[in-house]
Homo-oligomer: A and B are copies of this chain.
Amino acid sequence: MDWRSQVYRPALVVQPERVKKNFNRMQEKALSSGVVFRPHFKTHQSAFVGEWFKSRGLEHITVSSVRMALYFASHGWKDITIAFPVNLREIEDIRDLSKRVQLNLLLLSGEAAEELNSRLDRKVGIWIKVDVGYGRTGIPWNEEDRIADLARTVDALPNLEFRGLLTHAGQTYHMHDREERAALFTQITEGLNRLRNHVLASGPKSCLLSVGDTPGTTAVPDFKGVDEVRPGNFVYFDAQQWHLGSCEEEDIAAAVACPVVAVHPQRSEIVVYGGAVHLSAQAEPHPRHAGVSMYGYAAACTPDGWDRIDPDSYIRSVSQEHGVARVSSELLERVKVGDLLCVIPVHSCLAVDLLDTAITTDSQLFSLDFS
């Protein structure tokens, strides 16, 4: 059956072969580097997709919320890191999780460590969130003593088991040079190793290093110098990663299939059911048209997925449910009201989170709703 006949509303369409190839490539790099491979499941958020990876031997996963941890725990995953500073208001769910899986949490203050410890009765793994220059959150990595103090505090608390230092170098999302990203990866690895020595000198017997981010992990040939990698986006990629050079066009494994609801030939535009609540409102500068923002590329949907990207066909604006695509004359001629248009989103993680239904190109429907 043609997958397109089963899409009525905006839905994620996934090319399984591309996903598996992306996964295998990253897994092999991790295994050959001798590090723990703990991919971030926030990108696909799907037990169905997770099974593909489980069958490849994957055991360790990362998620971005307690809710996502509960969902994957109920689908048989046994070792889960919530890569987000611990939300103490969800302590009941955290207690529940700590009894069911090997749970690993992030901390960045002694107060939160004490509070968390006092509310638990099972041991959880603890990573200290370190800020290596992204500036979102974490203890700045130049505050070596503060980090070592917290490591010692964690190490001494009975319900917390100190794991090491965890970081997300999100600044790579603004670095369009792959070599530059690789150099940053090396620089961060070296800095973290010095920091580890400082921590170990203060007491703890072990201190692992965990790093993330798809633009960085795709730029380096191996992961020497760290103990664990947590990329997420690499399973699907998207327009942003393609612009960054983290992937080839042929690696992009997910798009949003959107029903066409209006065609405006005079404007060379197509209006789709697919707006900010499906694609997200995250924009990217258009790589060829200065001053133009884009919310994804538009391409015809095909039985196998979607056509090649033509940069002249893109979503120029989104409102709540509407997406307005400016398209090439060739695409304009091919598409009519009632058809589907495939949108390669700017940021696949956000689109996946917003959508509730997905379908593979071999017509397997699966849910994206884990709430």
Residues of chain A touching chain B, judged by Cβ–Cβ distance below 8 Å, are: 7-9, 42, 64-67, 84-90, 93, 108-109, 111-112, 115, 129, 135-137, 170, 259, 261-264, 267, 271, 273, 276-277, 280-282, 317, 319-322, 324, 336-338, 340, 349-350, 353-354, 356, 369, 371
Contact = CB atoms under 8 A, between A and B. Distances in A.
A139 to B, nearest CB: 9
A66 B8 CA distance: 11
Q: How many copies does the complex hold?
A: 2
Contacts of A353: 277, 320
**Residue among A84, A88, A263, A337 having the largest count of chain B Cβ atoms under 10 Å:** A337
Given A85-B271, A356-B371, 12 more contacts: A9-B67, A64-B320, A65-B273, A85-B262, A88-B338, A109-B263, A115-B338, A136-B271, A137-B264, A137-B271, A137-B322, A277-B350
Given A109-B337, A324-B136, A261 B87 contact: yes
Contacts of A273: 65, 84, 87
Contacts of A259: 87-90
B320 A350 contact: yes
A350 B354 CA distance: 11
Nearest to A277: B353
A22 to B, nearest CB: 19
A321 B65 contact: yes
B319 A108 contact: no
A88 B337 contact: yes
A317 B134 CA distance: 12
